[in-house]
């Protein structure tokens, strides 16, 4: 089976060209000063990195990590049950259910976010509904709650799909066995379903957390620009200020921080796997 790994070689070459080379370019920009369009005349400098250390940027990075973690957590809590329900539903409607979970994301992002603004804004549909019901108005937008909601909205399907794919297989065989052995539902879930679904959960978290950290636009439109995220600042550096050097340093720092947190994640994942293997032997 070892021979199978050659299947990854073409993609490795592709990644070297289209991912690694651009990243090296970004790395180069981050450590230099001067006209970005004239690579020969760039001068070495660590000034951009010194700037990253200024408290205001660290604060933004921390804010982004907190929001991304929260939205990942909510996506997991909301999405896991959905994935389970879909996995257990009648095979005839399963495909349909899944498609309908992702189709909203095919509508343009800007239009969807504008629609959320119309719903959540101070005088928006939600608050008019509250008025009709005689309930007090909600002050969600602009604010962090609205940003969080927008992020959960945009990333939820990316949590549901991978979890569903692993759950779709587990079900029957194991569950019946567990039931036969007299395990109750909660026990079956925590001892069998959850450990077996970890690979799906890991993929889901990766696909939600990584883009969530660097997301932009959502924080501007739903948060009223008062809590800029690192994605906003990076975009600002590249576009508005035209400072690719500083923008590059910010994204390199961001990348390093994310890769570190992913490494920690995968360690936990591996431990979980070992634990699971250990248990299955017992």
Partner 1 sequence: MKKTAVRIYMGLIFLFLYAPIIVLIVFSFNKTKSRGQWAGFTLEWYAELFKDRLITEALYYTVIIAILATVISTIVGTISAIGIHYMRGFSKNMLLNVNNIPVLNPDIVTGVALMTLFLSAGLRLGFVTMLISHVLFCIPYVILAVLPKLRQLNKHTAEAAMDLGATPSYALRKVILPEIKPGIVSGALMAFTMSIDDFVISFFTTGNEVSNLSILIYSMAKRGVKPTINALSTLMFVTVVILLLIINKKSEKGEELLL
Partner 2 sequence: MKRILVSVFAVVVLLTMAFTMSGCGNKVVLNVFNWGEYMDKSLLDLFEEQTGITINYKTYDTNETMLAKLEAGGSSYDVVFPSDYAVSEMIRKDMLLPLDFENIPNFKYVDDRFKNLEYDPENKYSVPYFWGTIGILYNENMVDDPVDNWDILWNPKYAGQILMKKDVRDAMGASLKRLGYSMNSTNDEELRQAQEALIEQRKLVAGYYGDEIKDLIANGDAAMGLTYSGDFMELYWDEDADFSHISFGVPREGTNLWFDTVVIPKGCRYKKEAEMFINFLLDPDVAYQNAMTIGYPSPNTVALERMRQEEPEAFELDGFWPDDEIIEKSDVYVDLGEYKSIYNQLWTEVLVD
**By CB under 8 A, what part of segment 166-195 binds partner 1?**
166, 168-170
Which of the choices partner 2, partner 1, none does residue 47 contact, using the CB cut-off of 5 to 8 A by kind? none
**Part in contact with partner 1 (CB under 8 A); list of ranges 40-48, 131-139, 173-181, 244-252:** 244-252
- Least Å distance, CB 85 to partner 1, is 6
Nearer to partner 2, 18 or 114 (CB): 114
101 binds partner 1 (CB under 8 A): yes
Residue 119 in contact with partner 1, rule: CB under 8 A: yes
Is residue 128 close enough to count as binding partner 1 by CB under 8 A? no
Cα-atom radius of gyration of the chain, to the nearest Å?
Answer: 23
Q: What are phi and psi of 123, to 5 degrees?
A: -110, 30
Closest of 258, 267, 207, 205 to residue 231, by C-alpha: 258
Are 166 and 197 in contact by the 8 Å Cβ rule? The answer is yes
Q: Are strands 32-33 and 43-44 parallel, antiparallel or unpaired?
A: antiparallel
Question: For partner 1, how many residues bind (rule: CB under 8 A)?
Answer: 94
Non-local (6+) Cβ contacts of 251 within 8 A are: 26, 30, 214, 234
Nearer to partner 1, 188 or 203 (CB): 203
Which listed range, 48-56, 138-146, 171-179, 228-236, lies at the site for partner 1 (CB under 8 A)? 228-236
Q: Which residue of 4, 133, 186, 282 would you call a contact of partner 1, by CB under 8 A?
A: 4
CA 107 and chain centroid, separation: 19
Alpha helices, DSSP H, located in the chain: 9-15, 21-30, 47-52, 55-88, 91-102, 109-120, 125-132, 144-180, 185-188, 194-213, 218-223, 230-235, 244-281
Q: Which residues bind partner 2 (CB under 8 A)?
A: 37, 56, 59-60, 114, 117-118, 121-124, 142, 220-221, 223-226, 228, 233, 236, 238-243
Determine the interface stretch with partner 1 among 53-61, 108-116, 134-142, 174-182 (rule: CB under 8 A). 108-116
């Amino acid at each position: 089976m070892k021979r199978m790994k050659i299947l990854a070689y073409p993609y490795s070459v592709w990644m070297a060209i289209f991912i690694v080379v651009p990243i090296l370019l970004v790395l180069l920009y981050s450590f230099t000063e001067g006209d970005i369009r004239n690579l020969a005349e760039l001068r070495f400098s660590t000034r951009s990195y010194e700037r990253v250390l200024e408290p205001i940027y660290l604060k933004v990075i921390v804010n982004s990590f907190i929001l991304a973690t929260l939205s990942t957590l909510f996506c997991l809590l909301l999405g896991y049950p959905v994935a389970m329900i879909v996995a257990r539903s009648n095979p005839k409607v399963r495909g349909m259910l899944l498609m309908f979970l992702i189709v909203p994301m095919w509508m343009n992002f800007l239009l969807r976010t504008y629609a959320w603004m119309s719903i959540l804004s101070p005088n928006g549909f939600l608050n008019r509904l509250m008025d009709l019901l005689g309930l007090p108005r909600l002050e969600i937008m602009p604010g962090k709650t609205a940003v969080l909601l927008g992020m959960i909205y945009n990333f939820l399907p990316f949590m549901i799909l991978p979890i569903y794919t692993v759950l779709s297989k587990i079900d029957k065989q194991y569950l019946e066995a567990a039931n036969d052995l007299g395990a109750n539902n909660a026990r079956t879930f925590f001892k069998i379903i959850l450990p077996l679904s970890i690979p799906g959960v890991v993929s889901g978290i990766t696909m939600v957390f990584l883009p969530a950290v660097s997301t932009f636009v959502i924080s501007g439109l739903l948060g009223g620009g008062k809590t800029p995220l690192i994605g906003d600042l990076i975009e600002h550096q590249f576009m508005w200020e035209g400072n690719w050097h500083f923008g590059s340093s910010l994204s390199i720092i961001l990348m390093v921080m994310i890769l570190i947190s992913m490494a920690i994640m995968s360690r936990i994942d591996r431990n979980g796997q070992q634990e699971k293997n250990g248990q299955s032997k017992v």
